[in-house]
Amino acid sequence: MHLTKITDLSKKEILEIFDIAKDLNFQHLNTGQNQEHFKNKSIAMIFEKPSLRTKVAFEVAATQLGGNAIYLSSPEILTSGSNIQGRESISDIAKNLENFADIILARVFSHKTIQELAENSQIPVINGLCDLHHPTQTLADLYTIWDLHSGFPKDLKVTFIGDGCNTANSLMLGCDIFGIKFSISTPKGYEISEKITQLAKHKFQSTNNPKKAVKNTDIIYTDTWISMGLEDEFKKRLKIFKPYQVNSELLSHAKHSAKIMHCLPAHRGEEITAEVIDSPASIVFKQSKARLLIAKALLKFLT
């Protein structure tokens, strides 16, 4: 199976992945190593955009499970060459990689590229982020909350503040799978798109008023206002998103116990203040740690 978006997985499958992640974490903490579930296997990782967490998490995951990771930067395989499509077509890349590797991970600009890889590959394709989705991030986010509470508390509310981007889309859809109450506050015109909303089974609150969105919330989540590829809009976005900063004033409208989440990389002073992200309420580095646990769990689950 492929993981092109979070809705490719059922609730049961996600909980199975969480159990694997928890067991592998326990095993590693206790013995300093993991059983070699990915022994003699390889993950081919295509990156059209930069990455710290996704790249390192999957590379370390493959190594710790006895396999290896091959990093393929976009200029190496996609963009160079005289062919109008780049060096070769996406479908040919998929059909070659399945001869050599056991999993493909791809971080790309367009979701279409992920779909094309998946349609042409006999081995699982994992979406490592595209314009619309970031499913491995959502698995780590939900795992972090699930692990913190030993399950999902009834009436849990998750609120996203900022841009209705890939991270927000996947988080909303992940919450939807579990029936978790989800709320989002964005500037007008930056809401989660209709195309993504259609994939959800439950209704969620979408408002341009961030204070209204964080009312009674357990989690406040934010992400950059300028996703990779939108750098030209930097000045414009900084102005539009200013009222959507996650700061202590906004926090005072949430539950006293509310936790702060961010997929990272963070931009202190833009979408979040240093005071908030570095506060005891912040669980951003737990999320980051969960990226490795989920990467390991996915390698085991998908092969």
53 given a catalytic annotation = no
| Cα dihedral 99, 100, 105, 110 sign | negative
275 and 247 in contact (C-beta within 8 Å)?
yes
> Which 110-149 positions form the footprint of ligand CP (CB under 6 A)?
129, 137
166 touches ligand NVA by CB under 6 A = yes
Q: Which is nearer to ligand NVA, 2 or 237 (CB)?
A: 237
- Of 64, 137, 245, 287, which is the active-site residue? 137
- The residue within the footprint of ligand CP, chosen from 14, 104, 263, 298 (CB under 6 A), is 263
The nearer residue to ligand NVA, 18 or 221, going by C-beta atoms, is: 221
User: Is residue 56 at the binding interface for ligand NVA, with CB under 6 A as the rule?
Assistant: no
Residue type for position 34: N
Cis before residue 265, ω within 30 degrees of 0?
A: yes
CB of 165 to ligand NVA, least distance (A): 4
- Distance of alpha carbon 149 from alpha carbon 260, whole angstroms: 15
Q: d(Cα 161, Cα 186) in Å, to the nearest integer?
A: 6
* Residue selected from 26, 33, 52, 179 as contacting ligand CP according to rule CB under 6 A: 52
Q: ∠150-156-161 over CA atoms, to 5°?
A: 120
Question: How many Å apart are CA 140 and CA 235, to the nearest integer?
Answer: 31
Each residue 4-43 as x (binds ligand CP by CB under 6 A) or -, in order, gives: ----------------------------------------
Is-catalytic flag, 218? no
Rounded (5°) CA angle 123-172-164:
100
Task: Give the span between the Cα atoms of 117 and 92, in whole angstroms.
Answer: 9
Cβ proximity to ligand NVA, 138 vs 227, nearer residue: 227
DSSP annotation of 265: -
253 is a catalytic site residue: no
DSSP symbol at 281 = T
Among positions 212-241, residues that touch ligand CP (CB under 6 A) are: none
Should residue 167 be labelled a site residue for ligand NVA when binding is judged by CB under 6 A?
Answer: yes
Residue 228 interacts with ligand NVA (CB under 6 A)? Answer: yes
Q: Is 92 a catalytic residue?
A: no
Q: Per CB under 6 A, which region of 27-35, 144-152, 163-171, 267-275 contacts ligand NVA? A: 163-171
**What 3-state class would DSSP assign to 136?**
helix
The reply to whether 274 sits near ligand CP by the rule CB under 6 A is no
Tokens of 227: 């996703």
Q: Is-contact 141 182, C-beta < 8 A? A: no
Annotated catalytic residues are 107, 134, 137, 223, 263, 291
**Contacts with ligand NVA, residue ranges (CB under 6 A):** 129, 165-167, 223-224, 227-228, 263
**Contacts with ligand CP, residue ranges (CB under 6 A):** 51-54, 129, 137, 263-265
